[in-house]
Amino acid sequence: MRKKLIWSIIILVLLVSFYEVMLRGKTVTYMGEDENWLITINAKIEGLNSSYRIEVKYKGSEKIENFNFNIHPHYESGLLSLDENGYYIYECKNECTYYDKESKLLLFIIWKEKNHSVEKLDFIDLKKVRN
C-alpha cells in the first residue's frame, strides 16, 4: 500500500510539472514612455518555445532619419528607421530569450532628426506592467 502511495505521488508531481512546463504559458509586458517615445515589450513562453515583440513609437513632430536603442540588460538593436506612421516593430518568434525577473528595464535611445546635424539621446525606464 505504501509503495502504491509513493508511486501515485511521483506520478502526480510529474503531471503537475509537465503542465507547468509544457502547457501553461507565461507572459510579461514592460512599458515606458517620455515626451518623444513610447516603448512596449511583450514576451511569452509556451512550452519550450519563447518569443517577444518590441514596439517603438515616436511621438515627436520631427522626421527621424535613424535611431538606435539598447534595453539594459537584455535587448539591443542596430541602426534602425521608422515606418511612415512613426513605428518600429521587431518580433522574434522562435527560440528567443525570455526575461521576466526584473521589475524594470532601462532603455537608452539615440536618434537623429532629418535636417539636423546633432543626435539626441534619452533614458527611459520600462516598468513591468503585467506578469
Question: Is there a domain that residue 16 lies in?
Answer: no
Number of domains in the chain: 1
Question: Is there a domain that residue 13 lies in?
Answer: no
**What's residue 123's pLDDT?**
92
Structural domain boundaries enclosing 47: 26-130
CATH of the domain at 53: 2.60.40
Question: Is there a domain that residue 70 lies in?
Answer: yes
In whole angstroms, what is the distance from residue 57 CA to residue 37 CA? 6
Question: Is there a domain that residue 60 lies in?
Answer: yes
Question: Is there a domain that residue 74 lies in?
Answer: yes
Q: Which residue has the higher pLDDT, 40 or 93?
A: 40
In whole angstroms, what is the distance from residue 21 CA to residue 43 CA? 16
Q: Which helix (H) or strand (E) is 2 found in, with range? A: helix 2-18
Question: Is there a domain that residue 34 lies in?
Answer: yes
What is the value of pTM for the model shown? 0.74
Please answer whether residues 45 and 23 qualify as being in contact, where contact means their C-beta atoms are separated by less than 8 angstroms. Answer: no
Question: Is there a domain that residue 67 lies in?
Answer: yes
Question: Is there a domain that residue 12 lies in?
Answer: no
Which of 114, 124, 96 lies closest to 40, judged by CA?
Answer: 124
Which of 88, 85, 52 lies closest to 67, judged by CA?
Answer: 88
Grid coordinates belonging to 37? 517615445
**Number of C-beta neighbours around residue 109 at 10 A:** 21
pLDDT tens digits along 9-23? 888 888 877 776 666
pLDDT tens digits along 78-106? 777 888 888 888 888 887 877 777 888 89
